[in-house]
Amino acid sequence: MHIEFVEIQNFRKLKSVRVDFSVETTVFVGANNSGKTSAMGALRHFLVDHSRFTTNDLTLSNWSAINLFGKLIESAENDKAVQIPTLQDWWKLVPSLDIWLNVENDQIHYVSHLIPTLDWEGGMVGVRLSFEPKDLGELYKEFASARKAARETVDAARMQRKEGGDYGLSLWPADLCDFLEKRLLSHFEVHAYSLDASKCRSPSLGTAQPQSLTSNVEQIEGDPLKGLIRVRMIDAQRGFSDPEPKTRSNSDSDDDGEPAQKGRLSLQLQSYYKRHIDPSEMPEASDVEALEAIHQANRQFEKKLSEGFKGPFDELQSLGYPGIANPKLAISSQLKATDGLAHSSALKYEVISEWEKDKNAPCLPEQYNGLGYQNLISIVFRLMSFRDDWMKVGKAGKRTVLKIGETLSPQPLHLVLVEEPEAHLHAQVQQVFIRRAYAVLRNHEDLRNNARLRTQLIVSTHSSHIAHECDFAHLRYFRRKPATARGEVPTSSVVNLSEVFGKGKSTERFVTRYLKATHCDLFFADGAILVEGPAERLLVPHFVRQHYKSLCECYVTTLEIGGRHAHRLRPLIEHLGLNTLVITDMDVSEIRNKKLYSAHPARNKSLVTGNSTLRTWVPRQKSFDLLLDLPEPSKLAQIDDYSSVRVAYQCPVTVTLEGNAEPTEALVNTFEDALVLSNLSFFKTLKGRGLIKTFREIIGASTNTDALVSGINEALEKGKKAELALELLLLPDRSELIPPGYIADGLSWLQDQLVRKQLDIIVSEREILTATKKESV
């Protein structure tokens, strides 16, 4: 048994999404504010701790509809014909989580209470957890009463106001959302309903299509997942810098209600000791020796204490207290094994190498260890604790109180949620962690080859290093979708990257290997720039920093992939919905005997481009002459309403040489010759060696454009292009260097796209907050 997928509705940014779960490890990736934390929050709220819900967890665009419910409730007080909202009306607006389980035939008994009909034949089983009103009558009655009291108070104050007029404020509750901010958990709770697998539909255009419930659907009594799924979570805030943890997380609660410790590692050791090792808890024969040692230590320590306090106690007695009628003072000790762990130096680490240390070698307390090391050890230790709690290792099994008919067997499914494990971790350690985390959770003799007990690990991350270590099949990309209408808010959709290429295709193999080689951070970027070679890879980011301030403030990843292979990234980029600029070369060619051969650019020679990106992706054009004069809109390929791809390739450059009054057209074929021809005055006086010196000499000696272009091309064929880029980056006055026109146009387009997308979000949020938030006291 395992979770096949979950569908989340109306929870923060997640209006309606499906998140597929891998059988073992699933990793949530995406740019900042894309919904990863919302997804983890939904899993935490519904599966771990219902008391975490607040009105801020309701999708913001639903607030206006909820406030309309409030107006209907108020109207119904005076007009009984008004139709007040039903529970089905609330279902369209409140958060819900649908969990779909894939159940093997021999485990049907675990889900018998979730099967909706007798016709069920095995396979998928679904349950909806809905955060909804407990009792509509009580909710409406209290809200109407509170609104009436607020209006009457304001009316009374208005009557007493000497200067007359209305007040600008509204007393609580200003509307139904305002009411729920204080009364949410009093009137709302999580209810469960069975779902029909035959009505399960696939997402449409990235939006989940959860099935609708009828008004006569029966609620499942109690916790539908009790005895079925054990859920544990490690949240992002782990507080290693604090000497003592200030809070406890209910997400780490053990079966007996005792929260697992956070913060210092020694506190985690104490918690593990109490649950699995403590000899005083349900002692066995093997514990007697340890208990006897503690008992003898208690007696010796008590004797020493009595001797030490004899003087003070005798002095007190000489003062008449304790008197004849009062008992005498005595002292007693009660040592526990956990006392040895209950101090700041309980856990130490050695700083002397193995061959230098001796038994008196100094050690440092845990708080002097690096935060990254503490974080790694802490997470791994907690994963071990989760596993051992699930498998009832040691005293945990004996402590469990079984009801009649129950067995000690663990739940068939162990779901572990880990938020942002990369905090404080070095990149290499991040990769080691994600490779080993699942193995730690399965490192038990009853788990290694046991398909009846499943573990599913869910990790959310901002780290490209963690994503780099995962197969595409394990990644779930959270994509931001800006608001498109007034009253809406930015939302998210989720892409299952295992569906991007199809299995076994050469494109999938190429892209996977390419990303492994480049530590690609496409999954966390606002936009992407694909460049042709190392020179562009070095200089395009410089152009962005120097000339495109707004673009520089966005998170844009630059990848060197080459014109022959950029089109292979097309399925991935389109699935991610990334605004992407492809900077590539024309690769001017001529056709001889049905084969392509390199050629110098010239008009009206029936030349073609050999660039696969231009031929097959955008603009899907072969003719060199047509590409030269292609209008700007034809260089775009729309992905959807929110994103598109633009190609930038070499276009004619207008050149004016000294002594020639008329500017002439120069046709270029590479980034480097376009760069030089676009910066003639810069290179003409530039001091340097290598290609820089050669260019300076060629520009000074050229009397016409043809000679200039020919000389530059000949120099580039012999020179080192990457070395040229490095030399330019080292120049103190490199800010005067401008990008070639085709790159400048492409960067301006990308900047406009990303700024527009950001403004869509900002404006939408501001409009909605202005419309829904009122001043209240």
> In sequence order, what DSSP letters do the residues of 529-590 get, joined into one string?
EEESSHHHHHHHHHHHHHH-HHHHTS-EEEEE--TTTGGGGHHHHHHHT-EEEEE----EEE
Contact present, 166 and 158 (Cβ < 8 Å)? yes
CA 462 – CA 34 distance, rounded (Å):
11
Contact present, 646 and 581 (Cβ < 8 Å)? yes
Predicted pLDDT at 378: 81
Spell out the residues 6+ positions from residue 529 whose beta carbon is closer than 8 angstroms to its own.
Answer: 540, 556, 557, 558, 559, 580, 581, 583, 750
- Sheet arrangement for strand 595-598: 595-598, 588-592, 608-609
Q: Where along the chain do its domains lie?
A: 500-650+740-760, 653-736
Residue type, 730: L
Predicted pLDDT at 80: 86
Sequence length of the chain is 777
Q: Model pTM?
A: 0.83
Coil, strand, or helix at residue 168?
Answer: coil
Predicted pLDDT at 149: 94
User: What tokens appear for 220 in the block?
Assistant: 């499942």
User: What tokens appear for 721 in the block?
Assistant: 């292009």
Predicted pLDDT at 323: 52
Backbone dihedral angles phi then psi of residue 490, each to the nearest 5 degrees: -60, 140
- pLDDT under 50 in the chain at which residues? 241-262, 321, 324, 355, 405, 762-777
Burial class (CB in 10 A: 0-12, 13-18, 19+), 642: middle
User: What tokens appear for 252 in the block?
Assistant: 């780490």
Predicted pLDDT at 335: 61
Backbone dihedral angles phi then psi of residue 457, each to the nearest 5 degrees: -105, 125
Residue type, 525: A
Predicted pLDDT at 548: 95
Spell out the residues 6+ positions from residue 572 whose beta carbon is closer than 8 angstroms to its own.
Answer: 497, 500, 501, 511, 522
Beta bridge partners of residue 204, listed in sequence order = 207
Report CA-CA distances (Å) from 661 to 178, 412, 664, 703.
73, 84, 10, 12
CA 581 – CA 563 distance, rounded (Å):
12
User: What tokens appear for 541 in the block?
Assistant: 């980011």
